């Protein structure tokens, strides 16, 4: 995608342990089950200025594939997903004394305002992907009435969607995040297509079985909407990840007033406010592309976790 991004398609699916505050910064590691603390933000303007020089560009995906033990076919992947995502137990809320406190509904992820983008490389790529998604949706509709003529990739996506529809709330989001992460092997656009940046719709990605971070995100975006999540509650978000100083693509979906982040690098679902090292740049949705605006008030995320070492400083491309 944009800039030099090795994390865009990390081969290992990492489980993340996030600390809401405290000042400690733990870098991403390559062990099987790393713990990652993300505790500091940087001014939005610097990250946005950095990416403005990189478009058109690409998020590169150069981390080697270390996932030979992951499933290679749809049946194994779906079976593993079912085992990983049991139904969530119900939790009774404690009695509330006095009037209930209403959680504010956040219009955009990361508690930032946005403005529409009228032109540019991101909008051009997103418009192209949306056209491909509409064409693939017609294939999915035909598959629902004529399974015998349904391509294997479409059957795989519909199976993931069906598993998601069988769940509700966080369980639905979790099973789709896991299923897509397991169904695709990370590979850079340069290695797969011979070009620096290419965005693929879900059926193309599932047909090849490979993709980089935006390909994972596009597949999740489509699967969530197909599984019944309202389109206005799903966004593909381009961010700058300060933990590794690289640009990255994720999906944000709104649940009970919170925005939940789906990332191809781990299976854990994390709220946007628990990821202060992700600086949002663009939100891609059914209505087009929107640019995140910097905060006008002091950034409370930065204030809650002051920088303690040089690794917190925003790096240049």
Name which of 193, 277, 203 is nearest 25 in CA terms.
277
* pLDDT of res. 294: 86
- The CA radius of gyration of the chain, in Å to the nearest whole number, is 19
For the ranges 12-26, 59-73, 81-95, 130-144, which has the lowest average pLDDT? 81-95
Could you check whether the bond before residue 139 is cis, i.e. omega within 30 degrees of 0?
Answer: no
* pLDDT of res. 147: 87
Q: Are 117 and 123 in contact (CB under 8 A)?
A: yes
pLDDT range class, residue 8, cuts 50, 70, 90: low
pLDDT at 30 over 90: no
- For helices 169-183 and 213-226, give the axis angle rounded to 10 degrees: 140
Name which of 282, 263, 219 is nearest 28 in CA terms.
263
* pLDDT above 90: percentage of residues in the chain: 56
Of the two residues 33 and 252, the one the predictor is more confident about is 252
* pLDDT of res. 148: 87
Name which of 174, 288, 152, 258 is nearest 220 in CA terms.
174
pLDDT at 27 over 50: no
Q: Are 5 and 213 in contact (CB under 8 A)?
A: yes
Q: How far is CA 68 from the centre of its chain?
A: 23
pLDDT at 259 over 60: yes
pLDDT in tens, 107-164: 899 999 999 999 999 999 999 999 999 999 999 999 999 988 899 999 999 999 999 9
**Mean of the pLDDT values across residues 247-267?**
96
For the ranges 71-85, 144-158, 200-214, which has the lowest average pLDDT? 71-85
pLDDT at 235 over 80: yes
For the ranges 11-15, 185-189, 249-253, which has the lowest average pLDDT? 11-15
**Mean of the pLDDT values across residues 32-40?**
34
- CA neighbours within 13 Å on the CB side: how many for 49? 8
Whole-prediction pTM: 0.66
Burial degree of 82 (CB within 10 A; 0-12, 13-18, 19+): middle
* pLDDT of res. 123: 97
Start-to-end Cα distance in the chain: 14
**H or E, element range at 131:** helix 121-145
Query: Could you tell me how many residues make up the chain?
Result: 317
Average pLDDT over all residues of the chain: 73
Distance set, CA 200 to CA 79, 143, 280 (Å): 25, 20, 22
- Pick among 3.30.70.100, 3.30.70.3270, 2.130.10.30, 3.10.620.30: CATH of 7-85+105-312: 3.10.620.30
């Amino acid at each position: 995608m944009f800039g030099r991004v090795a994390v865009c398609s990390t081969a290992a699916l990492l489980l993340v342990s996030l600390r809401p505050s405290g000042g400690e910064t733990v870098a991403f590691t390559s062990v099987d089950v790393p713990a990652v603390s993300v505790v500091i933000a940087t001014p939005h303007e610097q990250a946005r200025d950095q990416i403005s020089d990189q478009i058109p560009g690409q998020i590169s995906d150069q981390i080697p594939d270390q996932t030979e033990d992951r499933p290679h076919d749809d049946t194994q992947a779906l079976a593993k997903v079912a085992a990983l995502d049991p139904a969530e137990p119900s939790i009774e809320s404690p009695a509330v004394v006095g009037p209930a406190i209403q959680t504010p509904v956040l219009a955009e992820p990361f508690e930032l305002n946005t403005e529409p983008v009228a032109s540019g490389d991101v909008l051009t790529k997103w418009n192209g992907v949306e056209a491909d998604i509409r064409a693939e949706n017609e294939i999915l509709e035909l598959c629902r009435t004529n399974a015998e003529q349904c391509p294997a990739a479409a059957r795989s996506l519909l199976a993931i969607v069906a598993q998601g529809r069988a769940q509700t709330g966080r369980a639905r989001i979790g099973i789709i995040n896991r299923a897509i992460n397991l169904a695709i092997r990370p590979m850079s656009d340069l290695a797969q297509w011979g070009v620096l940046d290419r965005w693929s719709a879900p059926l193309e990605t599932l047909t090849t079985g490979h993709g980089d971070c935006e390909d994972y995100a596009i597949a999740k975006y489509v699967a969530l909407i197909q599984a019944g999540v309202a389109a206005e509650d799903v966004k593909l978000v381009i961010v700058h990840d300060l933990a590794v100083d690289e640009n990255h693509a994720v999906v944000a979906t709104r649940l009970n007033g919170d925005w939940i982040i789906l990332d191809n690098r781990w299976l854990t679902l994390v709220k946007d406010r628990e990821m202060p090292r992700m600086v949002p740049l663009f939100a891609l949705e059914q209505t087009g592309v929107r640019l995140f605006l910097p905060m006008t008030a002091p950034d409370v995320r930065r204030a809650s976790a002051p920088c303690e070492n040089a690794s917190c400083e925003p790096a240049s491309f």
